[in-house]
Amino acid sequence: MSRQPFFYDITLRDGNQSLKKPWNIKEKVEVFRLLTELGIPAIEVGFPASSEMDFEAVKRLAEISPDNVTISGLARTVEHDILRAVEAIQPAKKPRLHTFIAMSPFNMKYVLNKSPEEVQKTAIEAVTFAKSKLGKNADIEFSAEHFGDCMENLDFVIDSFQKVVKAGATTINLPNTVERTRVRTFVEMVEKVYNALPKDINISVHCHNDLGMATAATVESFFAGAVQLETALNGLGERAGNTNFYEVAVALHNSGVDVPIDFSKIYETALIISDMAKVAIYDKAPLVGPEALAHRSGIHQDGAVKTKDMQKGAYRAIHPSLIGRKDDEKLGVTSQSGKTAVYEIISRAGYPITLQEAGRITPFIKEAAEKEGELSNKELLDIYFQQVFDVKGSFHILDLEKIKENDYVLHFTFKNETFHIEGKGNGPIDACLNALKSAGFEQKLIHYEQKAMDDDTMGSGASAMTVIKMEAPNGKVIIARGLDESTAIANVKAIFNALNIIEKIS
Ligand code: KIV
Ligand code: ZN
């Protein structure tokens, strides 16, 4: 799609006015810098008539604004506000005056105490006045506050828009000042306005998020004709906030729209803004929330792992790198998790494990998680060490004593009985298996591998690891490991771990 959205940011105005401690000029300059780095082309930097500080901030930002960024100041439809705003935005290379008045029947009657005719006249006069101050190329935005509440008087509102356009408005903004009902109702109204106005008029939407649907309303309004999308970083704004910029940008991008902003700055910006605004990003916040890339159920973990290096993921809307997010998809281990996550976490931590072993130890992990809730990586690794290298069961190795070359005595217990059995063989593993056979515990070893570890990979000081495969009496082949400073003992430990594993699965 060649039509591009035009982002008009309201963090510094609607967002700022909702903060417990509105930003000072220095902070506004910092937020402004973040906005320009994101590539946002139009920024409403404040409401100059609201306070001396806001007037100064708007003026300052207008002075430092880049040539290609529209700087807008808000004003009610009163001369004093318009004059203050005009003065403050004047230094900008691309100044815009944004004036607004409520047009919903409810607000005109109960808040403004004005008739529709009076409101329309005020709107036209305000735009005419602004134009007289800004000149013939004036960039003027007019908003019908509470547009979302104007279902019954939409004809009047459209008539007013046509008149303010004649008076000089170049952008018509349609605010869903309070989100009360369906997205579709709002979008249909946007479409009606779009069809009723000249095509060179910039149609804009400004959605609040009272019911949590502002992103949907904004995205769908774009497809209904609105080009200017008023959004705020982190969704800051009055009450439940304004439309969240990141969500709209990504949703349009995912829908095949060319969105000319720097996506890679999104995540970092979100964290900075949260800090500056003292408004936490909630755990489940889309895209930027700490939990937005977390998978806890076995099925989701399996899909996430299988597609983790792909652009499209089985259980994520975007590749995290799109928004500059560096953390991997998080696999949280709970009672709902599966062996893929266990395998992945242990492998990612640098420890050896096969999928079969992960499957075998997963029930122990789930059991612990049932009691504790989500396990930390350390708790998971503790279980891994116990269940892989120190498998508890009826067999317990005491020692493998070497008498002479290829002749050993195996000391062990089985249940409560102690055995001291001689075993001859070609090396300790052979001798150990022969001793076990003599004691009536014959085993079928089908694979043996010795892994020398030159560094302290396992963090236990052990330098030898034995990996064996043994066939259980039921025909199942199990993998077992032994870990020790001595190769001979690592071998025997692997055999005893295997005996206890086989005992458990038989
Ligand atoms: O929500 C709203 O209606 C506004 C207007 C000033 C555009 O913020
Ligand atoms: Zn608003």
Ligand with the closest atom to the CA of 177: 1
Ligand with the closest atom to the CA of 228: 1
Q: What Cα–Cα distance (Å) separates residue 374 from each residue in 294, 358, 367, 456, 469?
A: 12, 17, 11, 28, 32
Q: What is the pLDDT of residue 457?
A: 64
Over range 2-17, report the average pLDDT: 96
Among 145, 157, 174, name the best residue to mutate to test ligand 1's pocket (greatest count of ligand atoms within 8 A of Cβ): 145
Among 9, 11, 13, 14, name the best residue to mutate to test ligand 1's pocket (greatest count of ligand atoms within 8 A of Cβ): 14
456 band by pLDDT with thresholds 50, 70 and 90: low
Q: What is the pLDDT of residue 294?
A: 96
Q: What is the percent of the chain where pLDDT is above 70?
A: 98
CATH 3.30.160.270-classified regions of the chain:
395-505
Quote the ligand 1 centre to 130 CA distance (angstroms).
18
- The answer on pLDDT for 501 being more than 70 is yes
Among 17, 177, 208, name the best residue to mutate to test ligand 1's pocket (greatest count of ligand atoms within 8 A of Cβ): 177
Binding-site residues, ligand 1, Cβ < 6 A: 14, 100, 143, 145, 173, 175, 177, 206, 208
Fold designation for 6-261: TIM Barrel (3.20.20)
454 band by pLDDT with thresholds 50, 70 and 90: low
Q: Give the whole-angstrom CA distance, residue 438 versus residue 421.
A: 7
- The answer on pLDDT for 461 being more than 90 is no
Q: Give the whole-angstrom CA distance, residue 435 versus residue 406.
A: 12
Q: According to the CATH classification, is domain 395-505 in 1.20.1250.20?
A: no
**What's the half-sphere exposure (Cβ side, CA atoms, 13 Å) at 349?**
21
Quote the ligand 1 centre to 371 CA distance (angstroms).
50
Nearest 5 degrees, angle CA 208-CA 209-CA 211?
130
Q: Give the whole-angstrom CA distance, residue 98 versus residue 139.
A: 9
Ligand with the closest atom to the CA of 47: 1
Q: What is the pLDDT of residue 462?
A: 66
pLDDT in tens, 473-496: 889 999 999 999 888 999 999 999
pLDDT in tens, 196-223: 999 999 999 999 999 999 999 999 999 9
| E runs forming strands in 263-416 | 294-295, 330-331, 395-404, 407-414
Q: Give the whole-angstrom CA distance, residue 86 versus residue 70.
A: 14
Q: What is the pLDDT of residue 473?
A: 85
- The answer on pLDDT for 437 being more than 80 is yes
pLDDT in tens, 360-402: 999 999 999 999 999 999 999 999 999 999 999 999 999 999 9
- The answer on pLDDT for 47 being more than 60 is yes
- 147 CA closest ligand 1 atom index: 3
Residue nearest to ligand 1 atom 1, measured at CA = 177
Q: What is the percent of the chain where pLDDT is above 90?
A: 94
Q: Which of 49-53, 100-104, 348-352, 457-461 has the lowest mean pLDDT?
A: 457-461
Q: What is the pLDDT of residue 506?
A: 79
- The answer on pLDDT for 472 being more than 90 is no
Residue nearest to ligand 1 atom 5, measured at CA = 145
- The answer on pLDDT for 459 being more than 70 is no
- 146 CA closest ligand 1 atom index: 3
CATH 3.20.20.70-classified regions of the chain:
6-261
Quote the ligand 2 centre to 73 CA distance (angstroms).
14
Q: Give the whole-angstrom CA distance, residue 313 versus residue 300.
A: 11
- 178 CA closest ligand 1 atom index: 1
Quote the ligand 1 centre to 502 CA distance (angstroms).
70
Q: Which of 32-41, 304-313, 419-428, 456-465 has the lowest mean pLDDT?
A: 456-465
Ligand with the closest atom to the CA of 107: 1
Which pTM does this prediction carry?
Answer: 0.91
Quote the ligand 1 centre to 62 CA distance (angstroms).
21
Over range 433-441, report the average pLDDT: 96
pLDDT in tens, 102-129: 999 999 999 999 999 999 999 999 999 9
The CB-based long-range contact list for 479-483 (8 Å cut-off, 24+ gap) reads: 479/354, 479/356, 479/357, 480/391, 481/352, 481/388, 481/389, 482/389, 483/389, 483/458
Q: What is the pLDDT of residue 392?
A: 96
Residue nearest to ligand 1 atom 8, measured at CA = 14
Quote the ligand 2 centre to 468 CA distance (angstroms).
67
Alpha carbon 349 to chain centroid, angstroms: 23
48 band by pLDDT with thresholds 50, 70 and 90: very high
Backbone angles phi, psi at 125, to 5 degrees: -65, -40
460 band by pLDDT with thresholds 50, 70 and 90: low
Quote the ligand 2 centre to 323 CA distance (angstroms).
26
Torsion sign, CA atoms 423, 429, 430, 434: positive
Quote the ligand 1 centre to 177 CA distance (angstroms).
6
Q: What is the pLDDT of residue 408?
A: 95
